[in-house]
A = this chain, B = another copy of it.
């Protein structure tokens, strides 16, 4: 069996994890004869090179991509433009490509997939979505005869960690500081807390689960920065936990795509996924409901996903066939507006009551008031109505609107949630 040479682009958190796991050479790995021969980094020092005696380090990433002795390129450097250029070159050179880069795949996945198909090589990116959870391989190997009708998940560990701390009583600032101290959040956490990272992952999931090619602009995206302790108290009162969800619900070829802090019923397993853990629930015709939970990031969990791609690629190379492509040719999608229930969070001047607001706006639902905080749990409405409410609430004297949060419907089958009043709660009809 001849050795398969691997070139790494990047030797940071994930890259080092890949090198560490491969160095362990379990019997299964040994049988694959994989060897990292070169790795590209930004900063090269003799000390750094000494840490990886068997790997030739270089600052010239293009030289790795053009190395004729290398069969597999693993991109774990991050960014979009540079890795795009490098991986295009790698594919044109006939090399198998593996990447952990969600931003790149969400943005240029379609072009790279087409290029890989043209050159009869594999393009795999299991690590790019929910690090340690083998969700892409599951989507590719388990649903050939099944139709996914909806999915929902926790795709950003940083946000989940922050909301878990807030549910336990922290303020947003305290929770963010804790996440930063633990290395879960970067010094500029914008991409995580504004839902952009999760949105990229949702785009990739959407492509594989629904064979539909959506864009960032198709996603209704809402960050977690406006949440306060009072929201968690209100959610708790109504029987929910607030989770940073991505969700996609299908009706024919239309999709409703949302990234938002969402109220999840406490009885639903997603509400029990805490701290930095990720999870995904798939609703489908045959399997009904499948849920996967695991670490969404971190050096070894993410590297393990890269190793799984390396195993698949190496087995395919040994057998002399083209590795299965991760993606299919996507079709255009149109946006769908599926009504959901909402929780409206308001501050009041003390003179205005929830009934005033509800009556004036024609909102049906339940009220939870505590101090100057007012929460209205509403009936299922469409996005146009929410926009109208938002507009009206912004002009309502005596209150200030904080945010409107969607409520997760465990029925992911693409149907409308029926609004039910609960006799034990204070209910009203405007």
Interchain CB contact (< 8 A) of A29 among B29, B145, B272:
B145
A147 contacts across to B, CB distance below 8 A: 26
A143 contacts across to B, CB distance below 8 A: 28
Residues of A292-324 contacting chain B, CB below 8 A = 292-295, 298, 300-301, 303-305, 307-308, 311-312, 315, 319-322, 324
> Once the chains are docked, how many angstroms separate the CA of A312 from the CA of B315?
13
Residue total for A at the interface (Cβ-Cβ under 8 A): 51
The SS class assigned to the A binding surface is mixed
Interface residues of A (CB under 8 A from B): 17, 21-22, 24, 26, 28-29, 32, 132-134, 137-138, 141-147, 269, 272-273, 285-295, 298, 300-301, 303-305, 307-308, 311-312, 315, 319-322, 324, 328
Interchain CB contact (< 8 A) of A24 among B145, B290, B308, B322:
B145
Nearest-neighbor residue (CB-CB) of A138 within chain B:
B134
Please give the distance in Å from A36's CB to the nearest CB on chain B: 13
Please give the distance in Å from A25's CB to the nearest CB on chain B: 9
A145 contacts across to B, CB distance below 8 A: 21-22, 24, 26, 28-29, 304, 307, 311
Interchain CB contact (< 8 A) of A146 among B141, B142, B304, B321:
B304
Are B134's CB and A141's CB within 8 A?
Answer: yes
A17 contacts across to B, CB distance below 8 A: 286
Interchain CB contact (< 8 A) of A287 among B142, B144, B301, B328:
B301
Are B301's CB and A288's CB within 8 A?
Answer: yes
> Once the chains are docked, how many angstroms separate the CA of A292 from the CA of B142?
14
Are B293's CB and A144's CB within 8 A?
Answer: no
A300 contacts across to B, CB distance below 8 A: 285-288
> Once the chains are docked, how many angstroms separate the CA of A322 from the CA of B146?
25
Q: Jot down 15 A-B pairs with beta carbons below 8 A, ordered by A.
A: A21-B146, A24-B145, A133-B290, A134-B290, A137-B138, A142-B308, A145-B311, A269-B269, A287-B301, A289-B293, A290-B292, A290-B293, A291-B292, A292-B292, A321-B321
